[in-house]
């Protein structure tokens, strides 16, 4: 846990409850989403070395979340959370219990009732106040003996890690609330080469904080990176035409990523002259694969499309006034 983040954990045996207060270094909407979205919960809810896997989730009053914890030896523990109250971005209540793969509740371990409250805290952080109630003192003591406090703390640290890696860059590079458009690209380890090529074509300097590398950031709870991975690019921005920004990161296989070039994305450029359209087309398509050469189209534009030598799809569209 980040020692600067507030954390308080108390057990009230007279009321069969646990009370937890935990600060997270992100705005309330970000923290709320992390607690109520299956894809994000799967990334942090389970204490390591366990993994969380969602089968189904319907986050609403009367809905439920059916998931399982998978251990390092393949052991599986199914759980179900039934939502009884949802007040968006402020609070929710849920009854959590162990079950089978179909969601049928069992009594292998005691169930519990959670009441989570989300409030703005110091700076841009969020305080989550959690009250967990058990049916009996015996149930409460059994859960405590099973290491609930330690397991919950590990899950919270997982969430800290998720927030730091997913939102630290946004906080540092988003300096105003002005609307903008950007295209974000992923590469298997050659982002720097790609962006120096694009920089040569478009000119200008890398914006934001320039070429930011993995070694510039800490990744709590993760194994040490090798020297090659440390030098890869975690974030870079380059403004091209009309204020549009390209943004990118390396996504190496060594960190569990698999990048495949596809045809499901094009970057659409609208230059201010036919000559500039030709220049961009010729330089960017060099060594790549042309889909359509530059020509006049029926909608009145001078248009061409191609895939560059790095597998990125582009459209050049010059529309005379």
Confidence at residue 68, expressed as pLDDT on a 0 to 100 scale: 96
The pTM of this model reads 0.59
What is the Cα–Cα distance from 155 to 303, expressed in whole angstroms?
Answer: 51
Q: Where in the chain is the domain with CATH 3.10.180.10?
A: 182-318
Q: Which two tokens stand for residue 118?
A: 């989300």
Q: Where in the chain is the domain with CATH 3.30.530.20?
A: 7-173
Model confidence over 196-233: pLDDT tens digits? 999 999 988 888 778 988 888 765 545 677 888 889 99
Residue corresponding to tokens 């069969």: 16
Nearest to 63 by CA among 82, 87, 39, 38: 82
What is the Cα–Cα distance from 37 to 57, expressed in whole angstroms?
Answer: 8
Class of domain 7-173: alpha beta
Class of domain 182-318: alpha beta
Question: For a pLDDT cut of 70, what percent of the chain falls above it?
Answer: 86
Model confidence over 130-165: pLDDT tens digits? 999 999 999 999 999 989 999 999 999 889 887 876
pLDDT band at 66 (very low <50, low <70, confident <90, very high): very high
Longest dimension (CA), the chain: 80
168: pLDDT strictly greater than 80: no
């Amino acid at each position: 846990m980040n020692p600067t983040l507030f954390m308080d954990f108390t057990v009230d045996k007279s009321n069969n409850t646990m009370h937890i207060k935990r600060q997270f270094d992100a705005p309330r909407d970000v923290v709320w989403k992390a607690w109520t979205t299956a894809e994000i919960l799967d990334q942090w809810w389970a204490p390591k070395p366990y993994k969380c896997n969602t089968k189904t989730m319907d986050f609403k009053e009367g809905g439920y979340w059916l998931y399982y914890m998978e251990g390092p030896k393949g052991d599986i523990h199914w759980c179900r959370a039934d939502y009884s109250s949802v007040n968006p971005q402020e609070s929710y209540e849920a009854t959590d219990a162990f079950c089978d793969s179909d969601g049928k509740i069992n009594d292998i371990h005691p169930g519990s009732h959670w009441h989570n409250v989300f409030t703005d805290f110091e700076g841009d952080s969020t305080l989550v106040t959690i009250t967990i109630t058990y049916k009996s003192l015996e149930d409460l003591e059994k859960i405590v003996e099973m290491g609930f406090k330690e397991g919950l703390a590990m899950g919270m640290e997982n969430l800290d890690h998720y927030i730091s890696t997913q939102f630290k860059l946004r906080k540092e590079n988003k300096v105003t609330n002005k609307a903008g458009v950007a295209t974000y690209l992923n590469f298997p380890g050659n982002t720097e080469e790609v962006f120096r090529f694009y920089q040569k074509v478009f000119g200008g300097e890398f914006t934001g904080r320039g070429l930011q590398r993995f070694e510039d950031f800490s990744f709590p709870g993760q194994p040490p990176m090798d020297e090659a991975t440390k030098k890869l690019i975690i974030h870079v921005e380059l403004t091209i035409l009309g204020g549009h920004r390209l943004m990118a990161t390396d996504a190496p296989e060594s960190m569990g990523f698999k990048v495949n070039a596809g045809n499901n994305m094009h970057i659409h450029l609208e230059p201010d002259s036919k000559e500039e359209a030709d220049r961009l087309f010729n330089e960017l398509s060099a060594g790549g694969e042309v889909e359509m050469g530059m020509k006049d189209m029926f909608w009145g534009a001078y248009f061409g499309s191609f895939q560059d030598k790095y597998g990125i799809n582009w459209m050049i569209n010059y529309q005379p006034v």
